[in-house]
Amino acid sequence: MKKNKIPKDRLKKGPLVIIECPEKIPCNPCIDVCPRKAITIKDFLVEIPKIDYNKCTGCLLCIPKCPGLAIFGVHYNYNKMESLLSLPYEFLPRPKKGEKVWGLDHKGKKICKVIVERVIENPNFDRCAIVQIRVKKKYFDKIRMIKL
């Protein structure tokens, strides 16, 4: 899996998204939806999308628009001990705020229990919600799914 490298100082500055496209596929809804024009792809067939981290505000609009569920929000310094991860979530029922759920890596391996901070629904998101979870900072780049 390919992903963009985030400059360390930018990671600690505020919310952003990480793109982890599993394959190079001709696809571009993430580019069209971004109000800041922060996402670009040089060549659809050979490149994964690139994020300009000087432009990305972490607004999360691109997350539910990605058909590959390959975009994840990270607010690294959410509080002193934890990061806030924003994950795409298509299943029903949705988790509830405050619920304890399993945090899984991108292959579905259990990492640790995490707390659901918020569930964001919007008719423009189609079937996809955004589930925000609090995780220990060391897991910000590891947890990519949840299991109720």
Positions in the binding site for ligand SF4 (CB under 6 A): 17, 19, 21, 27-30, 33-34, 36, 38-39, 49, 51, 56-62, 66-68, 70-71
Tell me how far, at minimum, the Cβ of 88 lies from ligand SF4, in Å. Answer: 10
d(CA 26, CA 38): 18
Tell me how far, at minimum, the Cβ of 60 lies from ligand SF4, in Å. Answer: 5
Phi, psi values for residue 32, rounded to 5°: -65, -35
The pair of three-digit structure tokens given for residue 5, joined into one six-digit string: 């490298």
Cβ closer to ligand SF4: 72 or 139?
A: 72
Tell me how far, at minimum, the Cβ of 100 lies from ligand SF4, in Å. Answer: 27
CB 20 within 8 A of CB 66: no
- By three-state DSSP, how is residue 19 classified? strand
Tell me how far, at minimum, the Cβ of 91 lies from ligand SF4, in Å. Answer: 18
Cβ closer to ligand SF4: 6 or 34?
A: 34
The neighbour count for residue 20, using CB atoms within 10 Å, is 17
Tell me how far, at minimum, the Cβ of 89 lies from ligand SF4, in Å. Answer: 15
Q: Which amino acid is at 21?
A: C
Cβ closer to ligand SF4: 1 or 148?
A: 1
Cβ closer to ligand SF4: 35 or 108?
A: 35
Cβ closer to ligand SF4: 57 or 102?
A: 57
Q: How far is CA 19 from CA 68, 93, 94, 113, 126, in A?
A: 10, 26, 23, 24, 20
